Amino acid sequence: MSGGWKSCPKPPKKRRRTPYDEIVELCNLPPEIKELLPRRWERYGDVVILKLPKELTSYEREVGRLYAEVLGANLVLVDEGGVRGLTRCPVVRVIYGEESEAFHKENRLIYNFDPIRIMFSSGNIDERIYVAELLKGSGDRRWVVWDLFAGIGYFSLPAGREVKGGAVVSVEINPLAYYYLIKNLVFNEITDRTIPVLGDNSKVIVPGTADLTISGYFVEEGWEEHVARVCSLLKPEGGLILYHFLAKKKELELRLAMLLKRFSRELLNRNLDVAEHRCRRVKSYAPLVYHYVLEVLARPTKGQKPSGEDWASLYK
């Protein structure tokens, strides 16, 4: 008889019980309805946002209570799809809890907002981090950043945290978003380097003052004038533009060509050139439509003596 230890077959790995499993377990609805319970949700602090198929509408109170209980949320909203109007007001409905503010933590920053009246796009997280990293990695450069569609500080907060010895000007037209912007500048302790402005960016910009301009809104109507405004903001020694836009994948090349032509023309009016450009896809926005960012590095035209710092160092 051979002695020694026999190797035992490994017990099958136990899958960890997820909050979704718990929701399904606790749910008393008919099985065909249970199957439709959302497996994913957005979470901003104590607020949960769900997308519900229409078959669940008549059970939504119960569904809201269930998600609140399992996820420990005090407000559950149903996302009816999209955002409304110039101020990008979300289309949501309360299915559980009292109206309350969200305190969302991301990248060591706090975003406070009213989730019923103010949008937050979790899909833009990489772009918010990108802005922080860009400024962080830029050495001693004292950036002056203009955030033209500041909202509650989506980009102004990461920029404000990393801007060293420079400043961020945050322009927002909606008084409610502006109210939260100011609160967020205070909560994140960056009021000493941020200048919030309540107003229309087409009226308040100061030409020739920016190292970095962020245009984080999809301007469709009047985009040509908007590009002109964005370019006019840059300092004579040039700078960087982050320009957000929407496009269908198959129309991207054409759209980019049109944008770049416009940027080149407007920059040339200020003796600047498109020295480099690149385009990033941020997220899927709608069926076949994507959210992109065009990054334009502008430098003085050849023959012009570059004044100020050398922007090339950014793109090493």
Query: Interface residues with ligand SAM (CB under 6 A)?
Result: 86-88, 119, 121, 124, 149, 151, 154, 171-174, 177, 200-202, 216-217
Smallest distance, ligand SAM to C-beta of residue 21, A: 32
d(CA 260, CA 294): 9
Start-to-end CA span in the chain (Å): 70
Please identify, using beta-carbon distances, which residue of 123 and 308 lies nearer to ligand SAM: 123
Nearer of residues 25 and 200 to ligand SAM, judged by Cβ: 200
- DSSP per-residue codes, 23-38: HHHH--S-HHHHTTS-
The residue (of 181 and 272) whose beta carbon lies closer to ligand SAM is: 181
Residue 5 to residue 302: CA distance in whole angstroms: 79
Query: Which C-beta is closer to ligand SAM: that of 67 or that of 178?
Result: 178
| Residue 65 CB, nearest approach to ligand SAM (Å) | 30
- Can you read off the two tokens belonging to residue 9? 């077959």
Q: Give min distance, CB of 84 to ligand SAM, in A.
A: 11
Beta carbon nearer to ligand SAM, 141 or 229: 229
How many Cα atoms are found within 13 Å in the side-chain-facing hemisphere of 177? 24
The one-letter amino acid at 183: K
Minimal distance in Å, beta carbon 221 to ligand SAM? 11
CA dist list (Å): 12 to 8, 9, 81, 278: 12, 9, 41, 48
Minimum distance from residue 171 beta carbon to ligand SAM (Å): 5
